Structure 1
Amino acid sequence: MTETVRKNRRLRPALVGMCLAAALTGISACADSTPSDSGNSKSPGRSSHRNSGAPAAAKPSTPAVAASLRMVENGDHSLAFHVTPGRLPALVLDAGGGEDSSYWKKMAPELAKKTGSMVVTYDRAGMGKSDEVPGAWKVENAVSDLKAGLTKLGITHDVILVSHSQAGEVATYFAKENPNWLTGAVLVDGSIPEFYTDEETAKIEAANKAQVEALKDQPSTRQTRQLLATADGYGPMHRAYHQVSWPQGVPATAIVSEKTPFETPDDAQLWRYAQQEFVKGAPNRDLVTAAKSSHDIAHDRPDVIVTAVGQMLKAAG
């Protein structure tokens, strides 16, 4: 799933697969990522005593310390984790498809300074400073990489995931496998199971078919290899994902962008509906709308994410 490729700008994919056509043709199939005004609204979705209420006041904290790089081995490949020390719960920031840890370069130090929490960002396999792994992208492998990194860092409890876009899939499977590790999660326009109906998945597969073939004719670069890896097996993976449920005991806040990742009204409405249905699944979930924001919420409305994280920390005590 990706955003538009513009001349003389690096590719900034948001939803690899879902918007792959945009990356290959330069025609926007996703909402543009442009800075916008401030503004905040909360949807009428369910709220919980753990997550609702006024924004939490930041705990007193010392000035944020610069993040240190830790290379972690998982099997035959290395992964780059960037750690800013602080208290628990730890905030683990996971970028969307095609993005590495640099996506959070402004938000990570801000969260560290305002909350005093440990902040971790990392590069998934094939991104940033992490090694490439041949073959199709599999969410199970991404979960294994994240778990290996957190284990090596000694962070196996009191974790809050902050997961953007495709990282919502990693978060869902991670939470299902390791619910006791998590204090909660903030899903930032996250890719969630409810969205991937058979009809929607088939539509995405059909839209991507020609573009994938075109991409195969392009020079092989790290970026094109990652796009092809993510597109490989997309349909079966997401039909299986549609059957997965977020664990009831793990609180979650779903932040949905006002524009959504889509320009087509039907797809945009399905995206909103899926987020609403996710929140209705348990009383410890909140739905927040990032007003005047594209899918790129971390850049358009970082304040919404900071507030949601603050509320999650407040609920955790």
Structure 2
Amino acid sequence: MKKHFLINLILFCLFITVKSQSQTIDTLVDVGNHKIHFKIVKGKGAPILFDAGGGNDGSVWKSILDQTSKITNATLITYDRAGYGTSTIDTLQTDNSKHGIISSIEDLETGLKKLGYDKEILLVSHSYGGYLSKLYASRHPKLVKGVVLIDVNHNYYEDGYIEKVLATQDKLIPQWKKNNKGTYYMASNILETVKIMSKISIPQNIPVVDFVNGIPFLKTTEEIERWKECHRNYVANNPNVTGITANGCGHGIWMGNPPLVITTIAKLYASTSNQKAEIQKRALQYSIIACNEEKAQDLAFNNSDDDLNTWGYQLLGKNENQKATEVFKLNMLLNPTNVNTYDSYGEALLKIDQKEEAIKMYKKSIELNPKNKNGKEVLERITKDNSKLLN
């Protein structure tokens, strides 16, 4: 996964003129015998709701909320389903079936209504969270303005596949029952969930972007191909769906490629907003800087002294000594103040029997760092060897 640690700093400077969206509401909402935790970044217009995957709470979206807020100016809502994060669970209800997917969607609806966000909305969901997006859109087709699905399940677990998954979880369910109520109830009800969701779909008038991973999280070829085929079929059978394969990304696509997901959310949101031009402009600015920064990181990675040094030693390990020498020489020329580059280049020169040049490299490394003990020892040894040969 590529690092994007400089992007936030650069984009902070770029968007400093954008009105701050830093006001955050962190609250527990009573939904009947238990409470659901919501976190809201205040903004304008229709809100964007983020629904986490199975086993995760709303905090999983933290890495992309700041830039999404700056670009869209929208209110952003994350939440924890019952039994996850700081959300509680209805302990008075002992029937497992009452803690299933329908209970989850009713919790969400009640919470959004109490918070005043039961009107127009855009949905973003990951994995199991896609079930909630599909349910919400099917129950509120006139309110949902668009949906971004991130590597969600499209009928994958039908035709006996869910039974195969459950067979691998028999030993885990008792442990979840004790330590993780949210996951326990999700697993206990997954057969019924799959059955319910096989009959549910997002209305075709709602625009959808469907992401699928580029690095499979499933294990066997059969499973991987089935997952991809389910996504291909979903896109092919729904004219208002745009399919995107996130190259180089695993299941958590927004973590593997933040700009890809952020700009996609922004583009879909802009298409539903009366601030379309402004949002698109900010999204374009962000995309340009993010793309340029990623390229800079690639160059830094490919040409950093550590990476070139590692590459050189990998070649030495394969006895490709001449190639290693060229890599170490390049590293020395690119990083002339780094003592280690001279040591490494000298070591490679010895491998191809260029002792005179090696001596020069070790002398240079000692000149840059008089405390270079290894360089002194090697230089003393090869100098003695040279003297013996001359005599």
Deviation at 1:93, TM superposition (A): 0.9
Cα distance in 2 between the residues matched to 1:73 and 1:37: 39
1:135-191: CA deviations, max 9, x gaps?
A: 354111111111112111222232111101110011111111111121011011112
Matched residue, 2:264: 308
Secondary structure class of the residue paired with 2:22: coil
Cα distance in 2 between the residues matched to 1:245 and 1:70: 31
Alignment of 1:167 with 2:123, yes or no, is no
Letter aligned with residue 119 of structure 1: L
Letter aligned with residue 220 of structure 1: K
Deviation at 1:235, TM superposition (A): 2.1
Cα distance in 2 between the residues matched to 1:152 and 1:89: 16
1:222-249: CA deviations, max 9, x gaps?
A: x2x3332121132233133223222112
Letter aligned with residue 138 of structure 2: K
RMSD: 2.1
Letter aligned with residue 306 of structure 1: I
Residue-pair matches, total: 257
Moved over 6 A (4+): none
Matched residue, 2:174: 216
Letter aligned with residue 208 of structure 1: Q
Secondary structure class of the residue paired with 2:210: strand
Letter aligned with residue 229 of structure 1: Y
Alignment of 1:93 with 2:50, yes or no, is yes
Matched residue, 1:270: 226
Cα contact 1:37–1:292 (8 A) shared by 2: no
Deviation at 1:37, TM superposition (A): 7.1
User: If you compute each CA radius of gyration, which structure gives the higher value, 1 or 2?
Assistant: 2
Alignment of 1:157 with 2:122, yes or no, is no
Alignment of 1:284 with 2:240, yes or no, is yes
1:58-113: CA deviations, max 9, x gaps?
A: 9x831231421132111111111111111122111111111111111121122111
Matched residue, 1:61: 18
Letter aligned with residue 271 of structure 2: A
Higher relative contact order (CA 8 A, sep 6+): 1
Correspondences of 1:240-251 after superposition (within 5 Å): 240-251=196-207
Identify unmatched segments of 5+ residues in structure 2.
5-14, 274-391
Letter aligned with residue 257 of structure 1: N
Correspondences of 1:1-317 after superposition (within 5 Å): 35-36=1-2, 61-134=18-91, 135-136=96-97, 137-192=99-154, 194-209=155-170, 211-212=171-172, 215-216=173-174, 220-221=178-179, 223=180, 225-317=181-273
Cα distance in 2 between the residues matched to 1:217 and 1:82: 29
1:274-312: CA deviations, max 9, x gaps?
A: 112222232211111111011011211111211211121
Identity %: 25
Name the structure with the higher helix share.
2
What TM-score does the superposition give when structure 2 sets the normalisation length?
0.61
Identify unmatched segments of 5+ residues in structure 1.
1-34, 39-57
Cα distance in 1 between the residues matched to 2:265 and 2:112: 19
